[in-house]
Copies of this chain bind each other. A is one copy, B any other.
Amino acid sequence: MAEQSRSSKRKLPSMYDVARAAGVSQTTVSFVVNNAPNTTIPQETRDRVWSAVEELGWRPNAMARSLSLQRSNTIGLISDEIATSSHAGRIIQGAQAAAWAHNKMLLVINTDNNREVEHAGLEMLLERQVEGIIYATMYHHEVAPPHPRGQVPIVLLDCYATDHSLPSVVPDEVQGGRTATELLLRKGHRRIGFVNEIGPIAAMVGRLEGYKQALASFGVPFDANLVRSGASIAANGYRCALELMQLPDRPTALFCFNDSMAMGAYDAVKQLGLTIPNDVAIIGFDNLEVIAAQLQPPLTTMELPHYEMGQWAVHYLLDHADDAQPEPVQHAIACPLIERNSV
């Protein structure tokens, strides 16, 4: 049992040390610990090697291994604020899970939206010989990402290249908007207010489109007056909801761009003395645990497929690890519905 006290700087044992201890060559140790095929090493010798390994507390040196094998078994994940923003942390989880399943390690870098940090980070990843790079962003939008041409494959996550020249995976905003609206329609609602984001971003456009598609499929005419917008924060959700609920023919359901706006909408609705979901049903987007699960009543909402995007990105990279020039797939993943009690 490794009798090395906690004195730090003692040199770690190498295969040579193990070999010496076991009375064999380093080659033999390598064969044994890697269970190399096409070798004829009797059990007795293997046992000697393994006990030497135990005794010295030997552990493979990943750097030496990678150098020799010419593969690092690492994938880089570089993002603007992903590690910071809560719900996006699942991207890391998904990516890590997928990577581990293939015996790869994830190298995460946060750029804090700083171009220089981004560049330096990319350089670090490349120096560390990553086998692929995931370029992820906080929210679904267009980006002008670096093109580390001819080096390693790259895939965009929750964003897309202006010219679609790089593969990317994003949430299916249209489906999300459609699914949310359809739920409301199926529950019998016909006047459905939409509290939307105002910025010209993919989510705003896509969800509105989905909203329209759903209405159309149920034969409900689109009424522009039922769509209000503002920057997606609670205060605007409050304002928009208040406006909508004071309309002469007020909606019986509200589809909010995100949970923060839904939170504001709750305030407005409650203030008007109305109850959720009886007087008005509300559905949000994002499934921010701290909000959606805690609101009273708990908020039914759409979830962004962060975990799945992380997984997909890693799989894509692994599948195209040595494709000379993979076609730049633009993949969209469906947003699942999270039912709680607000509809």
Within 8 A of B (CB), among A36-70: 57, 59-64, 66-67
- Interchain CB contact under 8 A, B4 and A296: no
Question: Which of A106-114, A186-194, A198-206, A215-223 binds B?
Answer: A106-114
If A72-B63, A83-B89, A295-B234 touch, whether A105 touches B105 (CB-CB below 8 Å) is no
Closest Cβ of chain B to A294, distance in Å, is 4
- Interchain CB contact under 8 A, B8 and A324: yes
- Interchain CB contact under 8 A, A105 and B128: yes
- Interchain CB contact under 8 A, A2 and B129: no
Cα separation A55 to B321 with both chains bound (whole Å): 25
Contact pattern, A 83-126, Cβ under 8 Å of B = 1, otherwise 0: 11111011011001000100001111110100001001001101
Tell yes or no: A7 within 8 A of B by CB. yes
Tell yes or no: A278 within 8 A of B by CB. no
Q: Which residues on the B side are within 8 Å of A128 (C-beta)?
A: 62-63, 105
Within 8 A of B (CB), among A1-37: 2, 4-10, 12
If A124-B105, A296-B234 touch, whether A92 touches B86 (CB-CB below 8 Å) is no
- Interchain CB contact under 8 A, B61 and A129: yes
Tell yes or no: A238 within 8 A of B by CB. yes
Tell yes or no: A144 within 8 A of B by CB. no
Looking at the complex, which one of B63, B85, B105 makes contact with A67 (CB distance below 8 Å)?
Answer: B63
- Interchain CB contact under 8 A, B83 and A92: yes
- Interchain CB contact under 8 A, B59 and A123: yes
Q: Which residues on the B side are within 8 Å of A294 (C-beta)?
A: 233-235, 260, 263-264
Cα separation A120 to B87 with both chains bound (whole Å): 25
Cα separation A264 to B291 with both chains bound (whole Å): 11
A64, A87, A128, A149 interface centre (most CB from chain B within 10 Å): A128
Tell yes or no: A153 within 8 A of B by CB. yes
Q: Which residues on the B side are within 8 Å of A92 (C-beta)?
A: 83-84, 108, 110
Looking at the complex, which one of B63, B124, B264 makes contact with A129 (CB distance below 8 Å)?
Answer: B63
Contact pattern, A 241-268, Cβ under 8 Å of B = 1, otherwise 0: 0000000000000000001100110010
Q: Which residues on the B side are within 8 Å of A151 (C-beta)?
A: 8, 12
Tell yes or no: A152 within 8 A of B by CB. yes
Q: Which residues on the B side are within 8 Å of A87 (C-beta)?
A: 86
- Interchain CB contact under 8 A, B105 and A106: no
- Interchain CB contact under 8 A, B149 and A323: no
- Interchain CB contact under 8 A, B8 and A152: yes
Cα separation A234 to B289 with both chains bound (whole Å): 12
- Interchain CB contact under 8 A, A96 and B67: no
19 contacts between A and B (CB under 8 A): A5-B149, A6-B324, A9-B322, A10-B150, A59-B127, A60-B127, A62-B129, A63-B63, A63-B128, A63-B129, A84-B92, A85-B89, A86-B290, A92-B108, A92-B110, A100-B120, A233-B294, A234-B294, A260-B290
